[in-house]
A and B are shown apart, each in its own frame.
Chain A
Amino acid sequence: MIPELGQLALILALALALVQATLPITGATRGIPAFVALARPVAQGQLIFVAATFGCLAWSFYVNDFSVLTVANNSNSALPVHYRLAATWGSHEGSLLLWVLMLSVWMVAVLVFSRSLPEEMVARILGVMGAISVGFLSFMLLTSNPFERLLPAAPDGRDLNPLLQDPGMVFHPPMLYMGYVGFSVAFAFAIAALLDGRLDATWARWSRPWTTAAWIFLTLGIALGSWWAYYELGWGGWWFWDPVENASFMPWLAGTALIHSLAVTEKRGAFKSWTVLLAILAFSLSLLGTFLVRSGVLTSVHAFATDPRRGVFILAFLALVIGGSLTLYAWRMKKVAPGGRFELLSRESMLLANSVLMLVACAAVMLGTLYPLFLDALGLGKISVGPPYFESVFAPLMAPAVLLAALGPLVAWRKGDAAELAKRMRWAAVAALVLSLFAPLLFGRWALLTTFGLFLSFWIFAGVFAALLARYRTRVKPTSAFAGMLLAHAGVGVFILGVTLVKSYEAERDVQLAPGGTAELGGYVFRFEGVQEVRGPNYQAARGTFIVTRDGKPVARMEPEKRIYRVQKNAMTEAAIDSGLTRDLYVSLGEPVANGNAWTAKLQVKPFVDWIWGGCLLMALGGLLAAADRRYRVPVRRREVPPPADATVIRREPA
């Protein structure tokens, strides 16, 4: 009964989405107030029905209704309750439902926080989001119905993939999807502005906090995913340049470029067409990510060919969204005059360089991700593009962007002063250079790349410090947006510091130990105490005990496990991690050897690895400060504000 109600709610949500995608936009174009007024209640209704659908699915998981196919495939009666709820979005169907739920949440957020926007604008924005919603809801109903029945019902479920039975999995997908879907707001703002024919600083000011908000969620989602891979996959890696990871990283890069370009459009009225293009790209890459992960092309291009329904649908939807928005862009954008003038050395040019670099890096990642798929699809052989490709392309492209990130905030808009810039940066730069030359000696090994990485990190800190000092001297109270920008930049510095140190000084050792045996790594002595059997709710585990000491003093007691999950019979390495500010100790248990008298194990020391996620957290916090800036909360009525001198007004097409 409950699943049928869920199905009904899903169909009703689609009906509302169809209304939302058509009538309000028509109303805004033709000037029919009744149609325009529909946007808000219809969007609210959609949230109610999508939430009801989601609730019904979650309920089916909660009560172990194994007559629902998704539940039978992804849950089990022995699965703890919180993982049963997380299993709601652990499945293909459920994750799509989560996507649409997030979209409805963003829609309602837009209508709640858009009181200062003209009603026609809101109608257009919600109309565009409604059209996206139509795409996803019909995708679910046509190819991935979450409420498909399994008759006769399965006696028990096939259980959730053990890798997903983890607290990180409870939060990672919702965060990531909030980010992915959040870019639909920036996209809808851009499309609405193109339809409306007005692209100006006010438009940029409206879409800025939304873009930043989506970017915050995406940053946190990616960081959570990386952290989850680090402790759950059991081998201590934190980024694999796996296609699934790249799928979330590409929209992040485009989104970061968009945030910086929006800053110029808001403050100076320049780069309008570039900003709109980036907004379209960021959301298109979010859709591409969804396509890559959800169509099955990554598992095998051939699996995609044998059951092409899902893939073809998303591909067609992707083509429609990207093609349609680019056509609209080409049609409307040519009327936009260039914005404010600026010199070669100016904040504008630095922000432009930054967003171009981000986009080029994004293209390089895309090439490495899609190239093997293309070759395979064309039958030209199977290849794999390894992490070294991504590292050797990505790092050189990002290094100049990082160098600019420190300078950007110090340079004036329109026309910068080179002498002034040199004066402001000079001592900070010398300090960064000296520190990065000598800091590697603290770790006992000097290498050029280490120094370079450290220099980038210290250079950013130096830039942040110089910007703070300059602001302090002017006695102007810094805005929350300014503080947020510097905090996010400092986060990039912390991130680079973590990456550089862990890449340069991590140590690992595979060992074979009998109980009582010891192994030394990086100054730490690991003593193996032995292994005992333990029973979990839905798994059996062998739990090893390691006592770690340094110079004879106890450091940690670590208990890695090797688990066998009862239903899926999968072995899983559950690593033990001792986290610290300056290093993580990481132990994963291998297998019994020598007739069960000894075990193999992997020991790792990872210096400053937690700084990687700490840096991401700072970036997100910086974004939060920036999005919370007062000026976004002061209502701006477009028609009442005299347009800035350099604002461009596109002539409206007669309807």
Chain B
Amino acid sequence: MKPRHQRLLAVAAGVALIAIAIGLVLYALGSNIAFFLTPSEVADNKAPKEAVFRVGGMVQAGSVKRDGLNVQFVVTDTAKTIPVVYQGLLPDLFKEGKGVVAQGKLGPDGVFRASQVLAKHDENYMPPEAAHAVSKAQAEKAAKSLVAPAK
């Protein structure tokens, strides 16, 4: 093989590799991204059907019910709430009144079936998504109360 052909072959191999890599990345990204929604957005029917997504907010005080390994609780962003069921051990920092993020699917009955519950490791720390949900809901509330007197 002449050196020129060789170089051509090497370039072709490189291009093929990058094409394969891009294909893999797109395929994997398409099926493994979880969108994050706030309880208000779920209440507005923005939740995807049949797809895994994340929902976050605070665990509503007094809402946690345990039955052995089955746990039920309510996630709130202070405006809307969403009931969640989960089976298994909860993370150490799962507490009523604290931030939480759950990943799973929404059932037809409106109950969120969590396959994973995340709570991070610090008493003051809010999972960013949970903090985002609460502040967004409060901002909307504030906007509404500003609009209300004008009516």
Contact = CB atoms under 8 A, between A and B. Distances in A.
B121 A510 contact: no
A569 interface: yes
Interface in A415-458: none
B123 A569 contact: yes
A344 B32 contact: no
Interface string A598-613: 1011100000000000
Interface centre among A349, A382, A397, A598 (most CB of B within 10 A): A382
Interface stretch (A32-40, A99-107, A383-391, A615-623): A383-391
A383 B34 contact: yes
B92 interface: yes
A385 B92 contact: no
A371 interface: yes
Contact of A392 (B14, B27, B34): B27
Interface stretch (A283-291, A328-336, A463-471, A587-595): A587-595
A22 interface: no
A509 to B, nearest CB: 10
Interface string B2-30: 01001001100110011011001101110
Contacts of B29: 368, 371, 385, 389
A590 B128 CA distance: 25
B17 A510 contact: no
A572 interface: yes
Given A383-B34, A388-B32, A389-B28, A163 B66 contact: no
Nearest to A163: B121
B24 A570 contact: no
A367 B26 CA distance: 11
A386 B122 contact: no
Given A381-B35, A383-B35, A396-B24, A360 B17 contact: yes
B33 A388 contact: no
Interface stretch (B82-90, B105-113, B143-151): B82-90
Contacts of B6: 343-344
A356 B25 CA distance: 16
A130 interface: no
Given A163-B121, A397-B21, A572 B36 contact: no
Given A382-B35, A392-B32, A600 B68 contact: yes
Which residue of B10, B33, B89 has the most chain A CB atoms within 10 A of its CB atom? B89
B87 A510 contact: yes
Contacts of B34: 383-384, 386
A234 interface: yes
A393 B28 contact: yes
Given A161-B121, A299-B128, A512-B69, A572 B35 contact: no
Contacts of A384: 33-34, 36, 54, 103
A598 to B, nearest CB: 8
Contacts of B87: 510
Interface residues of B, number: 41
Contacts of B20: 396
Contacts of A393: 21, 24-25, 28
Nearest to A300: B128
A571 interface: yes
B93 interface: yes
A397 B24 contact: yes
A370 interface: no
A313 B43 CA distance: 41
A638 interface: no
Given A383-B33, A512-B69, A568-B123, A356 B14 contact: yes
Interface string B125-145: 100110110000000000000
A397 B19 CA distance: 12
Contact of B32 (A386, A594, A601): A386
Contacts of B69: 510-512, 600
B106 to A, nearest CB: 17
B128 to A, nearest CB: 4
Interface string A48-86: 000000000000000000000000000000000000000
Contacts of A343: 1, 6
Contacts of A390: 28
A357 interface: yes
Residue from A163, A594, A600 having most chain B Cβ neighbours under 10 A? A600
Contacts of A570: 92-93, 121-123
B33 A385 contact: yes
Interface string B31-70: 1111110000000000000000010000000000010110
A496 to B, nearest CB: 19
A126 B29 CA distance: 43
A312 interface: no
A341 interface: yes
B46 to A, nearest CB: 11
Contact of B122 (A161, A303, A368, A383): A161
A591 B131 CA distance: 26
Nearest to A392: B28
Given A364-B24, A396-B24, A512-B69, A590 B89 contact: yes
A383 B36 contact: yes
A572 B92 CA distance: 6
Contacts of B17: 356-357, 360
Contacts of A648: none
Contacts of B132: 300, 302, 382
Given A360-B17, A510-B69, A389 B32 contact: yes
B134 to A, nearest CB: 13
Contacts of B89: 510, 588, 590-591, 600-602
Contact of A367 (B25, B27, B90): B25
Contacts of A161: 121-122
A320 interface: no
A357 B93 CA distance: 40
A243 to B, nearest CB: 12
A573 interface: yes
A319 interface: no
A392 B25 CA distance: 8
A591 B28 contact: no
Closest 4 CB pairs of A and B: A382-B36, A389-B32, A300-B128, A590-B89
Given A383-B34, A572-B92, 8 more contacts: A300-B132, A302-B128, A382-B35, A384-B103, A388-B32, A392-B24, A570-B123, A591-B66
Interface of B: 1, 3, 6, 9-10, 13-14, 17-18, 20-21, 24-25, 27-29, 31-36, 54, 66, 68-69, 87-90, 92-93, 103, 121-123, 125, 128-129, 131-132
6 contacts: A386-B34, A389-B28, A389-B29, A392-B28, A590-B90, A591-B90
